Structure 1
Amino acid sequence: FYTGNEGSIEGFAENTGFMWDIAPEFGAAIVFAEHRYYGKSYPFGNDSYSSVSNLGYLSSEQALADFAVIITYLKEVRLPHAKKSPVIAFGGSYGGMLTAWMRIKYPHIIDGGIAASAPVFWFGNVPAPPEHSYDDIVTRTFINSGCTLQSLSASFETIRKMADSSNGRKFLNERFHLSSDSQVKNANDGEELIYAIQSVLETMAMVDYPYPSNFLAPLPAWPVKVACKAFISAQNPEQSALASYKAVNLFYNYTGSEKTLCLLGGACGDPFSALGDPDDLFRPNWAITNYGVEFPTATNIVFSNGWLDPWSGGGWRLTPTFEGSLYSLIVEDGAHHYDLRGEHPDDTQSVKEVRRLEKKHITRWIKEAREKYNQQKRITKDRILYAEIAENIF
C-alpha cells in the first residue's frame, strides 16, 4: 500500500518499481492511494482550493484517515478473501513520513512500513537537524561528483558581476536563452537568477541516479557529474557563468525541446510563499505533538535514506542502526528514495543490499502478522469450545 504524497498518484506509481518487483514474490495486491487535494482527488471538485474553509480538510491527519478507510474498505468489501492479509505500507519523501506516521497511528491496520527518504526530524524543535544541513549535503554531493567550491562560487560571482552592467546583462539574457518575460534587468534580477540556479542544483542532487530517469525531469545518468564537468572545465569568466547555464539547461531542457528558459520567479510563478510568523493560524510544532519524533513505542518501520539526498539531513537516523524493530538503512550512493525505484541493470551495490534487507524485514512482518492472526483464531476457537462445555455442564 503506497501512502500517496503531494502530487498525482500516477507519477509515484511509475517511480516506485520496488513494489511492483517484489509483489509477485509475496502474492500481494498493489494499491497506490492518492493524497486528498492532489491529482484527481478533490473533495470539493474545482472549488477545493477556492476558500480557507474548503482547504481546512487538507492535512496529514485527514490523509492518514483516508488511507485507513481505503484499506478497511478494500479488505472487507472489494477483496474479502484478503480480509486477514497483512498490509505493508510504502512511501517516499512526504509519503515516507505518512508511512511512518500511519504505522504509529494505525498499527492495527498496517503491519509494517518502508519509509524512504522521510525527513521526520525536519521540524523546528529538538532534535532538528543542523540549520544548513540541506545545503551542506548538496555541496557534499557536488564535490564528491567532481565539482569544487571554487568553481561553483566563481560561477555565481561572475553572474553577480555581470548583472551589474548592461553588457553583462545582455550576455546573461542571450547566452542563458532567457524568455522575454524573464530577463535580467538589474542587479536584483541577477541575485534572483543565482537563486534559481542554486535551486536547480539542489533539486539535481535529489535525483542523482546512476541511470537516465524522468522522476522530476528527464535527466541523464549521474546528472550531477555531468553538470560538474562544465564547472571544472571553465577557463574564463564567460565559461564560468555558462557552466551554470549548462546545469540549468541540463535539468530543464535535457531533451532540447525548449528554445528559451524562464528562470526569474516573478515571471514564472513562485510555488511557495512565506511560511508565516509565530502568531499565524498554524499550531506550532503540531507534527511533533501529534506524531512524536523519536517514536519510542513504534514498531516495524524501516527508515531508509540516501547519502546523496539533501533531505537525508532530516532522517530518523543518519547511520545504519536499529532500535527495537525500527531500522535505519543507508544507501551510500543513493539519491531521493532511490531504493523505492525499480530494479535496473545499473543499480549500485549499496541499493541492492538495502532492498535485500527491506525484503527481509517485510518477510518477517508478514510472518509475524500471520502468526498473530492464527493465534487469535485459536483463542477464538478455544473460547467457543469452553462456552459449549460450560453450557452442557450447567
Structure 2
Amino acid sequence: MDGCIAASAPVVAFEGTNPLVNPNFFAQGETYDCSSQVKASNIVNARTTNIILFGGASDLCKENFHSSWDIIFNMSTTEEGRKELAQIFRLCRTPNTYFEASYIADWVSNALSYMTMGSYPYASSYMLNGNGYLPPYPMRLGCSYLSQTFDSDNDLLAGVRDAAGVFYNYSQSLKCYDLNVNGNNQTTIDGELWNYLYCTEIFMPFGQDGINDMFWYDPWNSTASAQSCADQYKNGGPRPLWANTNFGGWQIGKGGVTNIVFSNGQLDPWRGGGITLNLSQTITSIVIPDSGHHIDLFFSNPDDTAAVKNAREYELTQIKEWTEQSKMRWL
C-alpha cells in the first residue's frame, strides 16, 4: 500500500486515546449543524484550536430542539399525553407506555444524525442507501421548521415533527409515522449491521449532556453499553481498547506510518472523532467547509462546491506523489 485517503474516519473516537475523546462529540457536532455559529473547540477533540465556524442554521433551531425533549418526556407519563403525542406526531398507533412514547425523542434524534451526516449541496440518495433522496442540506431544511418562537408546546412539537419528517417522509407519501421504521428497509438493515460492527470492532463513546449540546442528559456509560452489546450478541462483549490499539489513535504517526490524508466534512458530526490537524509532513488533514460525510469520495457533481473540488485535487496530488515514490523504490 502506497498511501491512504481516510475520509470521515473517526480514528480518535475510541476509549484509550491520549488526549481522551470527548464522549459527547457526535451530539455536539449535530448541535453545531443546527446553530448559526459555534466555537470549534466545543465540538471536537482537545487538539483543535479555538476558531469560530458557521453551522448555517438559526440558533432558534437548536434551542427549540432542546426545549422539546422535556415536553415529550412529560407528556409520555399519562395516557392523555400519549394520545396527544400520537396526534401531534401523526403516529400510526398510539403508544401504550411511557417507554414507547418517550422513544419519540430517540426517533427524532435518529433523523438528526442522518440529516447532519447528509449535509451535501445537492440532493443525495446516500443516507437512504439508494432508495430515495434527501434534499440539499437536509438539516438546514429541517431547521427551517424550528427557526421561530412558538406560542404553544404543541406548536413546537409540530415543528419538531416536520423537521424529522424531512428524513422519514423523504418520499412525501407517508400518511403516518411508524416509530419502528428507520427511513426505509435498507436503512434499517444498514443500521443493524453497523450496530454489530460497533459491538464487535469499533466500540466508541456516545453521550450527551444537554448543556453543550441540544439533547437531553444521557451521559456515556461504558459498562452499560458493553453489557448491552454482550446481551444482544452473546459474544462476551466488546474490547473497549482494541480499536485504539489497532488503528493507532493519536500515535498513528509513530512507528514509521506515512502517507495518509485525513479528510473531514465541516458539517459531519463524525468530525469530532477525527484527526483535524496535520500530524507530520506525510500525515495531513483537511476540513472541507460546508460539507457532510466523506463527500470527497463521491462521484463529481455539477453542484460540487469549490471546497470539495479543491479537496479532491489535493487528494489526487497526494496519490500521484505516493505512487511516484513507490515506483522509484523499484528502479
1:176 is aligned, of 85, 89, 92, to 89
Paired residue secondary structure (1:249): helix
Q: Is 2:234 the counterpart of 1:276? A: no
2:245 is aligned, of 289, 298, 304, to 289
Which residue matches 1:254?
A: 170
Cα distance, 1:284–1:137 mapped onto 2, change above 3 Å = closer
Which residue matches 1:301?
A: 260
Q: Distance in 1 between matches of 2:241 and 2:316?
A: 34
Contact 2:88/2:157, CA 8 A, preserved across alignment: no
The structure with the largest helix share of the pair is 1
Q: Is 2:219 the counterpart of 1:219? A: no
Paired residue secondary structure (2:110): helix
Q: Distance in 2 between matches of 1:262 and 1:275?
A: 28
Contact 1:176/1:242, CA 8 A, preserved across alignment: yes
Which residue matches 1:125?
A: 16
Give structure 2 stretches of 5+ with no counterpart. Answer: 36-54, 182-187, 200-224, 231-235
Q: Is 2:58 the counterpart of 1:146? A: yes
Which residue matches 2:281?
A: 324
Moved over 6 A (4+): none
Cα distance, 1:276–1:210 mapped onto 2, change above 3 Å = same
Q: Is 2:29 the counterpart of 1:137? A: yes
Rg (Cα) greater in structure: 1
Q: Cα offset for 1:240?
A: 0.6
Q: Distance in 2 between matches of 1:340 and 1:277?
A: 34
Q: Cα offset for 1:147?
A: 4.1
Which residue matches 2:324?
A: 367
1:111-164 Cα offsets, whole Å, 9 max, x none, are 111110001112111233212111111101111222433211222233233323
Q: Distance in 1 between matches of 2:258 and 2:84?
A: 57
Q: Cα offset for 1:355?
A: 1.1
Contact 2:15/2:244, CA 8 A, preserved across alignment: no
Which residue matches 1:313?
A: 272
Contact 1:211/1:220, CA 8 A, preserved across alignment: yes
Farther off after superposition, 158-167 or 214-223: 158-167
Greater relative contact order: 1 or 2 (C-alpha under 8 angstroms, separation 6 or more)? 2
Which residue matches 1:383?
A: none
Q: Distance in 2 between matches of 1:284 and 1:197?
A: 28
Give the alignment's TM-score, normalised by structure 2.
0.71
Give structure 1 stretches of 5+ with no counterpart. Answer: 1-109, 376-394
1:196 is aligned, of 107, 119, 131, to 107
1:343 is aligned, of 297, 300, 304, to 300
1:211-246 Cα offsets, whole Å, 9 max, x none, are 111112221111111101111235232221011211
Cα distance, 1:124–1:322 mapped onto 2, change above 3 Å = closer
State the superposition RMSD in angstroms: 2.5
Which residue matches 2:70?
A: 157
User: How many corresponding residue pairs?
Assistant: 259
Which residue matches 1:230?
A: 145
Contact 1:151/1:240, CA 8 A, preserved across alignment: yes
Paired residue secondary structure (1:313): helix
1:155-206 Cα offsets, whole Å, 9 max, x none, are 22332333234443223213322223xx323333332111221121122111
* Percent identical residues: 30
1:5-32 Cα offsets, whole Å, 9 max, x none, are xxxxxxxxxxxxxxxxxxxxxxxxxxxx
Cα distance, 1:224–1:368 mapped onto 2, change above 3 Å = same
Q: Distance in 2 between matches of 1:277 and 1:240?
A: 33
Q: Cα offset for 1:325?
A: 1.0
1:333-357 Cα offsets, whole Å, 9 max, x none, are 1111011112222222221211111
Q: Cα offset for 1:281?
A: 5.2
Q: Distance in 2 between matches of 1:343 and 1:331?
A: 15
Which residue matches 2:161?
A: 245
